[in-house]
Amino acid sequence: MKKIIFKTPNALASAFADQLVNLASDKEVIHVALSGGSTPKLLFEILATTFKNNDWSRLRFYWGDERCVSPDDSESNYLMAKKLFFDPANIPSEHIFRVLGENDPRQEAERYGDLLYKSLPIVNDLPCFDLIYLGMGEDGHTASIFPHEMELMTHQEVCAVATHPTSGQKRVTLTGPVINNARSIVFLITGTAKYPRIKSILKDQRDFESFPAAHIQPTHGHLTWYLDEAAYEGT
């Protein structure tokens, strides 16, 4: 596990954008799972401006989690990526595999799981992403695996229906085994609000069993924590 600390969210997002550009220059097709939340917004804005004309043709885009809403709903993780990155960078729709948030959640979790088995290389009997990037909530959730649904960290299906603990919003999320089966997992975490959980997981290394983010431990790949000083130092 590697930690990289940045002075500002912009420096963090720029560094990860560079990593994505390097990945996109690879010879193979690259399967990437995107995250939702506010942190990726900065990343998308950098990709769509500084790297707008980059050759993204080898990348295939999926999601680590999606809210069960229509694709034109402001809550949609797909809509955020479409507006901030896919449209400005002219990413072809055939390279984008969104979760159909408008569908029945259980049926969609099954459909998306089947899609992953058909589209991605299979390693250890599970779909294997080249890269999954994740955020972490103040409660230690990641993707849409929340502390009250820890069983999703060991769920036998690669996709499951999750429920947001306060809003009750249904989500479709990748589950722990397929996340941990990725070649590269990157957390993008910024802001002082995340410091208490980061302190428990990365500094004190205790009292973190109930935080899903603490259970992201790749079985054969690499894990990198991209953190700004606010999240890592609490300053």
Contact footprint for ligand 6PG (CB under 6 A): 35-39, 65, 77, 135-137, 141-144
Tell me how far apart the alpha carbons of residues 76 and 82 are, in angstroms, rounded to a whole number. 10
Shortest CB 39 distance to ligand 6PG, Å: 3
Nearer to ligand 6PG, 54 or 163 (CB): 163
Nearer to ligand 6PG, 141 or 215 (CB): 141
Shortest CB 156 distance to ligand 6PG, Å: 22
Shortest CB 113 distance to ligand 6PG, Å: 18
Using alpha carbons, list the distances in angstroms from residue 125 to 11, 194, 200, 219: 37, 34, 32, 13
Nearer to ligand 6PG, 57 or 63 (CB): 63
Q: Which residue is at the shortest CB distance from ligand 6PG?
A: 135
Shortest CB 132 distance to ligand 6PG, Å: 11
Q: Which helix (H) or strand (E) holds 61?
A: strand 59-63
Tell me how far apart the alpha carbons of residues 189 and 35 are, in angstroms, rounded to a whole number. 12
Which residue is associated with the tokens 């000083």? 229
Nearer to ligand 6PG, 19 or 169 (CB): 169
Tell me how far apart the alpha carbons of residues 25 and 154 are, in angstroms, rounded to a whole number. 34
Nearer to ligand 6PG, 54 or 103 (CB): 103
Shortest CB 206 distance to ligand 6PG, Å: 23
User: What would the DSSP string read from start to end of 157-201?
Assistant: SSEEEEE-TTT--EEEEE-HHHHTTSSEEEEEE-SGGGHHHHIII
Shortest CB 94 distance to ligand 6PG, Å: 24
Nearer to ligand 6PG, 111 or 164 (CB): 164
CB within 8 Å of 102: residues ≥ 6 apart: 69, 70, 71
Buried b (16+ CB within 10 A) or exposed e, 187-206: bbbbeeebbebbbbbbeeee
